[in-house]
């Protein structure tokens, strides 16, 4: 099959304002064979950075039936290093091949001096970091020739010299670069709990017009004698408190594409679909309100 024929047989790229699920290798076959009723799929871009073989074949087949969002975890936009051109080229090739409706990365860094830590590490929220991150997002958007979405990370520490609240930092990145915001409601909840700020206040401070996508996932709890620390594992169902926060977000934003993410202790596909249905119910209620 030629590339052109492959592309013309696909559903259109735009991501609908409905619930989608994160597609992981363990579910590749089942998704293609059973074609579950979800609005769209999202994958980690880097999982398809290989040159060929089964992962890309599966993604081709899935893309025929679902709009696709590419979610990156390794571009390291916040790193003081130069942007990794090889990584950007791989991402660009993937975008050209699969025509994703959305492409996202994180408000974080994961490498320094050429060493990669493979984690979404927190930035200091300073004027220096804001200028730096803004410039990197602009550079990446120019290279890719499209809008990026930037996602708020979960965090487990705050820097002593940070001067800007995260919600202001993220909003300012969006204002200065024209990038969209991927609002991870679970991450807001996790960070708010870990650092003792008000999650609802965070939500209210995010510019409505910039939010293009929402993430939902489950966290784990590290219990200590002096309190709990929440860890964003993507390894459980969405917590009740996070559903509540999500309802508040949708009331404010209106219906937005919403992803159920699950990465560790991956359950049967049915569990992800059940979570997606719960999000869909909330989204439909929002649609009904508008109508």
Partner 1 sequence: MPSLHELQRGFAEGVFNPSAADFAQHIHPGRFPAERHFQVYRHNVFESLTGALRAVYPVVERLVGEGFFRYAADTYIGGHPPTSGNLHDFGGSFAEFLADFPPAGELVYLSDVAHLEWAWHQSFHAADGAPLSLTELAAIAPDRYDTIRFKLHPAARLLASPYPLLRIWQVNQPAFRDDMTVNLDQGGDKLLVMRRKQVEIELLGDGDYALLSAIAAGAVLACAAEQAIRTQSDYDLAAALGRHIGAGTLTGFTC
Instruction: Point out which residues bind partner 1 (CB under 8 A).
Output: 46-47, 49-55, 73-76, 79-80, 84, 86-87, 90, 109-119, 121, 123-124, 126, 128-129, 132, 156-162, 194-196, 222, 224, 226-227, 229, 231
Q: Which is nearer to partner 1, 11 or 117 (CB)?
A: 117
Q: Which is nearer to partner 1, 233 or 278 (CB)?
A: 233
Residue of 152, 107, 155 whose CA lies nearest to 132: 107
Q: Could you tell me which residues are beta bridge partners of residue 228?
A: 223
Q: Could you tell me which residues are beta bridge partners of residue 109?
A: 121
Q: Least CB distance from residue 128 to partner 1, whole Å?
A: 6
Q: Which is nearer to partner 1, 53 or 240 (CB)?
A: 53
Q: Which is nearer to partner 1, 7 or 247 (CB)?
A: 7
Alpha-carbon gap, residue 31 to 238, rounded angstroms: 21
Residue 109's alpha-carbon distances to 37, 160, 171, 202, 227, in angstroms, are: 35, 18, 18, 21, 28
Q: Least CB distance from residue 284 to partner 1, whole Å?
A: 36
Angle CA 233–239–242, to nearest 5: 100
Q: Count CB-CB contacts under 10 A for residue 109.
A: 24
Q: Which is nearer to partner 1, 116 or 289 (CB)?
A: 116
Q: Which is nearer to partner 1, 201 or 204 (CB)?
A: 201
Phi, psi (degrees; rounded to nearest 5) at 242: -75, -35
Q: Least CB distance from residue 76 to partner 1, whole Å?
A: 6
Residue 284 in contact with residue 258, Cβ under 8 Å? no
DSSP, residue by residue, 62-78 = HHHHS-EEEE-SS--TT
């Amino acid at each position: 099959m030629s590339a052109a024929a492959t592309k013309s047989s696909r559903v259109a790229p735009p991501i609908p304002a409905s619930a989608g699920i994160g597609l992981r290798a363990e579910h590749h076959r089942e998704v293609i064979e059973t074609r579950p009723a979800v609005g769209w799929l999202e994958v980690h871009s880097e999982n398809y950075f290989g040159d060929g073989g089964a992962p890309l074949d599966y993604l081709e087949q899935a893309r025929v039936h679902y709009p696709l969002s590419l979610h990156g975890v390794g571009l390291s936009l916040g790193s003081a290093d130069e942007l990794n051109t090889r990584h950007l080229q791989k991402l660009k090739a993937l975008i050209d091949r699969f025509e994703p409706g959305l492409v996202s990365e994180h408000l974080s860094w994961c490498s320094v001096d050429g060493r990669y830590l493979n984690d979404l590490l927190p930035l200091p929220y300073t004027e220096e970091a804001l200028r730096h991150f803004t410039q990197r997002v602009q550079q990446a958007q120019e290279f890719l020739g499209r809008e990026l979405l930037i996602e708020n990370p979960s965090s487990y520490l705050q820097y002593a010299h940070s001067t800007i609240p995260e919600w202001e930092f993220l909003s300012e990145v969006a204002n200065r670069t024209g990038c969209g915001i991927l609002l991870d409601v679970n991450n807001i909840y996790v960070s708010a709990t870990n650092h003792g700020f008000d999650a609802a206040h965070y939500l209210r401070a995010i510019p409505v017009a910039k939010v293009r996508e929402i993430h939902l996932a489950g966290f784990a709890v590290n219990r200590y004698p002096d309190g709990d620390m929440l860890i964003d594992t993507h390894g459980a169902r969405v917590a009740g408190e996070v559903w509540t926060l999500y309802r508040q977000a949708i009331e404010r934003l209106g219906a937005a594409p919403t992803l159920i993410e699950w990465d560790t202790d991956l359950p049967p596909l049915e569990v992800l679909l059940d979570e997606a249905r719960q999000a869909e119910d909330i989204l439909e209620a929002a649609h009904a309100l508008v109508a």
